[in-house]
Amino acid sequence: MKANILFIQLGCSKNKVDGEIMITNLVNAGFSMVDTEEKSDVIVINTCGFIQDAKEEAISEILNAVSFGKKIVVTGCLSERYKEEIFENFPEVDGLLGIHDTDKIVSAVKAVLSGEKCAYFSKKEETEPNYKDRILTTPFYYTFLKIADGCSNGCSYCAIPKIRGKYVSRPIESVVAEATSLAQQGVTELIVIAQDTTRYGLDLYGEKKLDQLLLELEKVDGIRWIRLHYLYPEAITDELLCVMAESKKILPYFDIPIQHANDRILALMNRRTNQKEIVTLIEKIKQKMPHATLRTSLISGFPTETEAEHKELVSFVKKGYFDRLGVFPYSSEEGTKAARIAPKVKKAIRIARAEEIMALSQEISLKKNQDKIGKTYLVLVEGIDTVNNIYFGRTYMDSPEIDGTVYFEADFPVDIGEYIMVEITGCDHYDLTGTAIKKG
């Protein structure tokens, strides 16, 4: 059965990996991928359903697909979370897949093309998805390496455990085999992801094994950068820090979602740390790796958050512990413990508090960037602005899509995916400018 598929990818990097696995399965089954609704026979929407904004984006995509009158398959977190509601509210949707059914995407597409309605929802993957041969939708030189799925932390505001289930680690051998395959495809930067990477291995081996996994990934030929995301502060061990500090491939980049700095709010969030412990961890990281870059995410306006507690968070941010920072107004998610906590902070106040923190973070970022002027950094080249004849790329301090960019001139040939030494000559709040010195 031949048909054209438009695959619409929404949500986080973990969801992107699931999407790539489904695209690979479809291509291997003989389907053609297209880039517009008009060219498609089937529109597959891989959704996110984590917070209200994500749900609204997914619903908008479904409505748009309906307007084209094509066959529609909805998969991902929204599908898993609202399976009955989607069919009820969008009768035009032909197929639904749960988050454990990436292997059923071909069957779903064939069913809807035959005029059937279908729904596949498994409690867990029957077999491990084909990570090794997935078709990448990222640029050829970097990709995401998902080492686990689900979450068992039980943060009171988070619906992920209800959607994706308990934390399940992949075997070390499977992850390393995938990394080796990716390197053979030309990938040089691996971005290691899970809902909580620091928990890796606990369910499978009875103890945390992230440090051991990293030692094995270091051995993969062709990989130059290994970047870690989603490190929970209370689970960053001395062993992990030692592995990172001694490594030539693991970047001194720490994505540590602390969510807040007030101890009462942290306890209400069911976080397993407090402000003092967070500061102690940061000081330990900086002692072992003085050039480490720290990123975090915060939630503003959590239920019952007082103005004084917000100001405490502002004061904490002012100390400049974090080089990169994202803040999100609290989103109440049904079925979570936080949704039952009262009183709620008014939406306008939540947004205003988030904006205050972001404005402060922007000024901190500018000062930190100004301190980089005159220094030289290794830059992974991502492209060229042909209008201005200037290249752009990222340093170890910058994760793709969420952090800054380095724009630089070069008087010698530079290729995309190459590593170049760049001297920094200027900056703005988030990005750097410079001049290429030599090949890296």
Q: pLDDT 10s digit of each residue in the chain, 440 long?
A: 789 999 999 988 999 999 999 999 999 999 999 999 999 999 999 998 877 888 889 999 999 999 999 999 999 999 998 988 999 999 999 999 999 999 999 999 999 999 999 999 988 766 678 787 889 999 999 999 999 999 999 999 998 998 888 999 999 999 999 999 999 999 999 999 999 999 999 999 999 999 999 999 999 999 999 999 999 999 999 999 999 999 999 999 999 999 999 999 999 999 999 999 999 999 999 999 999 999 999 999 999 999 999 999 999 999 999 999 999 999 999 889 999 999 999 999 999 999 999 999 999 999 999 999 999 999 999 999 888 889 999 999 999 999 999 999 999 999 999 999 999 999 999 999 999 999 98
Pairing of strands 95-97, 118-120: parallel
DSSP label of 259: B
Q: What is the pLDDT, as a whole number, of residue 276?
A: 98
CATH architecture of 376-439: Beta Barrel (2.40)
- The boundaries of every CATH 3.80.30.20 domain in the chain are 142-370
Per-residue tokens: 189: 């930067």
How far apart, in whole angstroms, are the C-alpha atoms of residue 71 and residue 87? 14
In the chain, where does the domain assigned CATH 2.40.50.140 lie? 376-439
pTM of the entire structure?
A: 0.94
Could you tell me where in the chain the CATH 3.40.50.12160 domains are found?
4-120
CB atoms within 10 A of CB 65: 25
Judge contact between 277 and 305, C-beta under 8 A. no
DSSP 51: S
> How much is the pLDDT for 54?
82
- Assess whether the previous peptide bond of 343 is cis (omega < 30° from 0): yes
Residue type, 100: H
User: Can you name the residues that pair with 328 across neighbouring β-strands?
Assistant: 299
Count, residues in the chain:
440
* φ/ψ of residue 351, rounded to 5: -65, -45
- Cα distances from 139 to residues 179, 380, 433, in angstroms, run 16, 12, 22
Q: Pick 4-120's CATH classification: 3.20.20.70, 3.40.50.300, 1.10.357.10, 3.40.50.12160.
A: 3.40.50.12160
State the distance between the two ends of the chain, measured CA to CA, in whole angstroms: 48
| Tokens describing residue 11 | 């949500």
Upper half-sphere CA count for residue 285 (Cβ side, 13 Å): 26
Residue type, 273: T
Query: Tokens standing for 433?
Result: 């400018």
142-370: which CATH topology? pyruvate-formate lyase- activating enzyme (3.80.30)
The DSSP letter of residue 29 is: T
Tokens at residue 382, please?
């991502």
Quick one: pLDDT at residue 126? 67
Backbone φ, ψ for residue 410 (5° rounding): -145, 135
**Other residues' Cβ atoms within 10 Å of the Cβ of residue 291:** 8
Nearest-10 Cα torsion for 360, 365, 371, 374? -150
Alpha-carbon gap, residue 83 to 74, rounded angstroms: 10
For residues 405 and 390, the answer to whether their CB atoms sit within 8 Å is no
d(C-alpha 297, C-alpha 348), whole Å: 20
Widest pairwise Cα distance in the chain: 64
Check the CA dihedral 359-360-361-362 and report its sign: positive
What pLDDT is recorded for position 49?
80
* DSSP of 175-235: HHHHHHHHHHTT--EEEEE-S-GGGTTHHHHSS--HHHHHHHHHTSTT--EEEE----GGG
